[in-house]
Amino acid sequence: MIICGIDEAGRGPVIGPMVMCGVAIEESDHYKLVQLGVKDSKLLSPRKRKTLSRKIRELTQWKVIQLSPAEVDQAVLSKGTNLNWLEAKTTALILKELKPDKAWIDCPSPNTKAYEARMVMELGGLDIDLVTENKADVNYPVVSAASIIAKVTRDNEIAAIERKLKLPIGSGYPADPITQKFLKDYGRKHPDIFRKSWQSWKRASQMKLGEF
């Protein structure tokens, strides 16, 4: 039986993509992920995440989808969808490619039943045993593995933006002082990398306009 874990990285930042990842492995090989020492990516150092990400990719089937700031904005601002439904739709795309028998999904909503119902709709009849839980990245190694690849992928994207702009941008999270400064100074100069539906971008943008 093929089992799969789904998780995301970068749901909250004002800068850069949201990255979603699925990791699939034979259930009989699941113990190998435990032996690697996989755990929720937030509990690991950047160096350890990179090492584990490489090993997980070698051991499993996996799929990564990056959602650009514009795609996130479209979901947030649309009357017909929201960020949770964007995650559900993207998760379905990953599952349709990996085709596991069972999938554990780190649920972004406290209403796990409603999210699971949305997932069933998005899968369009594909027969997969779904388990949608909050904190699945902590509880299931296969989801932890997905969280690690997602986090490393997003970190690489942020590093690439910094190299391109030759400017420090921080983590991309609104609470990060480095990100706050970059947002204030460059929020309108590099619009493509920002989520313009975020209040932090709107406030910085209005502040900048008011200075003229």
* Tokens 């749901």, residue located: 11
For the whole model, what pTM was predicted? 0.93
Coil, strand, or helix at residue 176? coil
Coil, strand, or helix at residue 125? coil
The residues facing 25 across adjacent strands are: 3
Length of the chain: 212
- Non-local CB neighbours of 52 within 8 Å, separated by 6+ positions: 36, 37, 38, 44, 145, 148
Q: Over its length of 212 residues, how does the chain's per-residue pLDDT go in tens digits?
A: 999 999 999 999 999 999 999 999 999 999 999 999 998 888 889 999 999 999 999 999 999 999 999 999 999 999 888 999 999 999 999 999 999 999 999 999 999 999 999 999 999 989 999 999 999 999 999 999 999 999 999 999 999 999 999 999 999 999 999 999 999 898 888 889 999 999 988 888 775 544 43
CA 183 – CA 63 distance, rounded (Å): 31
Domains belonging to the chain, first-starting first, are 2-162 (3.30.420.10), 166-210 (1.10.10.460)
CA 200 – CA 174 distance, rounded (Å): 6
